[in-house]
Every structure is written in structure tokens, then in C-alpha cells.
Amino acid sequence: MASSPKDLHFVLFPLMQQGHMIPMIDIARILAHRHATVTIITTPVNANRFRPAITRATKSNLKIQLIELELRLAEVGLPEGCENFDMIPSADLFVKMYAAMDMLEKPSENVFRQLTPAPSCIISDNQFPWTTDLARRLNIPRLVFHGPGCFTYLCLHIVMNTNVLNEINSDSGYFVLPGIPDRIELTKAQADGWGKLRETKEMEDFFKRMEVAADDANGIVVNSFDELEPNYVNELAKAKDKKVWCIGPVSMHNRSFLDVAERGKKAGIDEGDCLKWLDTKEPRSVIFVCLGSMSSICREQILELGLGLELSNTPFIWCIRSTTDETERWLLGYGERVKDRGLIVHGWAPQVLILSHQAVGGFVTHCGWNSTLEGVTAGIPMVTYPQGADQFINERFIIDVLKTGVSIGSEQDKFGALVKKENIKTAVERVMGDEVDGKVRRERARELGELAKRAMAEGGSSYLNTTLMIQDIIEELAKKTKPSQDVL
């Protein structure tokens, strides 16, 4: 029977999507640092993305291993090797990926029954609903990991479990979300960012399975910290009627230069060159622009974004994921014009490394939760530019709850609307300027960054929550073994 962390074996199932995998790998290392054994089950392509980080961890005597399972992609109609959501060309095909993920249940159980020591607990992304059945068959606890923070998770719970959206006639008219401590106004389209995904019966059924599986979990693991959203930690625990452990910001667990620089993927720029460029800039003078691993904005929007940055006359680092040949030609001339104050990164950017540099004073973000939390941790204000899914709700958290952000502009009220260069220029100037509200925003952001560091330090709230979570698993395992002892 487990009596200490070193007796525990956690098995993690990260979703095959960068925004979900990155924090799950950090969670694996946090648990291993507490002397637990950790196994991460994923697929070959995704394992290769994180193998260097896991190799470094094992060389530091952490008990972490990767186990690779094949996705049966051909059977569901996806190309071989298309193992991550960021490799799927259209959201319409996501249903095929979920079908392939469902086929991992039996191979995973076969792995479980051969693992030594025997698994003690599953921590699975909420998008693996079948892991609840696996945990039940193996008679071990299961914790669910949900990508966003407690505020967004609570908002989504209200949206998906009440009739609030059915009472809203217009997709674009604003309404006040009921049942939460702050006044939050959203449009129907913003509140239901996954609405289009649920338009097919297969996806609607999948979302229902996710809800049932989440309700069956022993607890919820959240990449956040108590001091960031104290009201919402408690409200989420009440709404879901289960324990909530905030153990983040998990990105702060990374200590080595390589773990920070290569968090997620190998960067599209030499990290040393990037830091040298930042070293030439004044403190808090640079704005960093990155719209996430799943972002695919159109050519017209790329041009408007670039021109808005140019008009702002603010030094910037701009991360661009993928472009057409035509856009690349435009970027060549653009890059020449802004070369003295603009650095363009093609592909993956070492985001945490950039945000933590003293020259960076603002962040234009798509409001994915990892990026939101990394901006908070860096102690810098944000320009919010949500694209879909839960990002519009995260935007409201940044602006209305934390009060550390500025919206890119009112045109973002409509999904897919083109944001003009004038809006971008104004938003950047508001975040980076010296007006009174800008100073207040920056000071608030700085304070939250300090609170984040304290939360992850030994004795901080997230450190203690990790301890309590581990202890709870030990107690749950004791309960599960007690009946057999009574029979004896």
C-alpha cells in the first residue's frame, strides 16, 4: 500500500495538442520531483516533440518514461503521421482524430497491466473520456486535467449545463453570464466557442461523454494558482462537487535554459540570437506578438497586424506560424523596413524565454490559457486577440477580472472580422504607453507575477496543493484496498 510519494506511479494521458501537452509534461516533472514514478502515454510524433525534455529529466534521476502507442489513423480516414491537432488541416476533421483516440483504450489497458510498479493514479486530459472506465476496471483513482483556469472552466460549465444560451436570440448581442462573482458580458458566439464542433451528432455525443467522465473523476487538476482566481477555485469546486487542485503556473517549474527555451518544440530562431537582440533594447520597451500554435489568420490579417505594429513605432518580436509564398514576399520588404526595431520569428518561438526578458513590456496574445498564464507569470500586461474556443472567455478574465489587458478592438466582437491596423496601433500604445491607466495596468500585472512566483516556491500555495493532491491519492488508494483487508 502506498504510504509516500515514492510509492506512487502516475500515468498521464496528454491530449495531442501543444496547448494541452506542454503543461502536462510540466506536471509530469513536478510529480517526478516529488519522487513519484511517472509514465506518459502518447503517440510517436508527439513523443518526439518532448523526448529531449524527458531525456534531460531522466538524466537528472527523475523517474519518467514515455510509452508510445500507434493511432489507427488510416481506419478513421486521416493521413499517416497526422498525430496532432495542429497537423489536421480543418476542424471538420477533428471528429476523426477523436475516433482514433477512442481506439487507444484497449492498447492502453494492455500497457497498464504490464507496468511496474503498478499504476496508482491516472491523470488524463478531459478529452480522453474512456480513461474513467479504465480507472474503474483497474480500481485506481483518476484525476482530470482541463486546459483552462478555474474562471473559464466555471463559465463553460454554466454554458454547457444550463439553458442560458437557449434564451439568447442573437449571436452578436451581449448578455451577462449568470452565476459567477464578476460581471462578465459575452456574446452567444463567444460563450460557445466550440459550438461549430458540436454540430454533428458524433461530436455532440463526444462532448456529452466528456462531461460524464469529468463528473466521475476523483478531482480536477488545474494549471493556475489560488491567488490568481480565489473566488473561482471555490466556485468551481462547488459547481463540480469535487476537489480542485491548482498546482501552477507549471511553466515555472522549468529551471534549465533548455527546458525554458525548448518548451513545446525546438524554436524557429536561435535562442541566443533572440536574447542578444532583446539585450539591445530598453527595459519594458518591446512588445511580443504570438497568436498560438493553432492560429491560422488570413493574409489580409497578417498584413494589417504587421502595419499596425509598424505604425505603433514600438520595438517588437513577431512570431508567425505559417504563411503563403505571397505573404512571404510581402514580409521580405516589410522586414527590411522594420529591421532596426522588429524581429520576425518564423515557426515556434521560445515564448517563456522571451516573456521573461526585462526588455519585454507587453504581449499580444490569442488568449490561449498557457499563453495567458505565461503573460501573468512574466508580470506584463496583454493585448487580447482571441481567435475561438475558450479564448474569448479567457479574454474577459484578463480584462474584467485581472484588469491587466486591453482588447485588440471592438471589431473582434465578430468571429473572423478583420482587425484593422489602426485598432492594433491603438491597443499596443495603450498597453505600452505612460498614461495613468497603463501604469495601473502594469503595476497590477507586476504584482500578479510576484504572486505567481510565490505560489510555485516551496511552501507556496501551488506547492502545498501538489502535496495535498498526492496525499489525497494515497488516502484514496488506502480506501480501495481496505475492503479486501476486511474480508481477510
The one-digit pLDDT tens for each residue of the chain (488 residues) are: 566 778 899 999 999 998 899 999 999 999 999 999 999 999 999 999 999 889 999 999 999 999 999 999 999 999 988 999 988 888 788 899 999 999 999 999 999 999 999 999 999 999 999 999 999 999 999 999 988 999 999 999 898 888 888 777 766 788 899 989 999 998 888 887 665 555 678 888 888 899 899 999 999 999 999 999 999 999 999 999 999 999 999 999 866 545 554 544 555 566 788 899 999 999 999 999 998 765 667 888 889 999 999 999 999 999 987 667 888 888 888 888 998 899 998 877 889 999 999 999 999 999 999 999 999 999 999 999 998 788 999 999 999 999 999 999 744 445 557 889 999 999 999 999 888 888 999 999 999 999 999 999 999 999 999 999 999 999 999 887 765 444 43
User: DSSP secondary-structure letter at 356?
Assistant: T
Angle (nearest 5°) at CA 227 between 189 and 475: 100
Side-chain-facing half-sphere of 134: CA atoms under 13 Å: 27
pLDDT at site 349 = 82
Beta-bridge mates of residue 342: 316
421-432 and 436-456 helices, crossing angle to 10°: 70
Residue from 466, 474, 470 nearest 226 by CA: 466
**pTM score of the predicted model:** 0.91
CA distance to 251, 261, 313, 485, per residue, from 279 (Å): 23, 16, 19, 64
Which grid cell sits at 430?
495603450
Residue 188 pLDDT: 84
- Tell me the domains of the chain and their CATH numbers: 5-247+459-487 (3.40.50.2000), 266-453 (3.40.50.2000)
Amino acid at 293: S
> Quick one: pLDDT at residue 412?
46
C-alpha cell recorded at residue 277: 537582440
What are 428's strand-pairing partners? none
Between the alpha carbon of residue 127 and those of residues 17, 53, 239, 402, the distances in Å are: 11, 24, 20, 28
| Among 468, 469, 471, 487, residue whose Cα is nearest residue 2 | 471
The set of residues, in sequence order, having a beta carbon less than 8 Å from that of 361 and lying 6+ positions away, is: 283, 284, 285, 286, 287, 380, 381, 431, 432, 442
**Radius of gyration, alpha carbons of the chain:** 22
248 touches 225 (CB < 8 A) = yes
Task: Identify the pLDDT of residue 196.
Answer: 55
Under DSSP, is residue 338 helix (H, G, I), strand (E, B) or coil?
coil
Backbone angles phi, psi at 61, to 5 degrees: 70, 25
50 contacts: CB under 8 Å, gap ≥ 6: 21, 25, 40, 42, 66
Report whether 425 contacts 311 (CB < 8 A): yes
| C-alpha dist (Å) from residue 159 to 103, 177, 195, 222, 228 | 29, 8, 11, 19, 22
Instruction: For residue 153, give the amino acid letter.
Output: Y
The pLDDT score that the predictor gives to residue 293 is 63
> Hey, which residues does 362 pair with through a beta bridge?
287
Burial class (CB in 10 A: 0-12, 13-18, 19+), 278: buried
What's the start-to-end Cα distance of the chain, in Å? 16
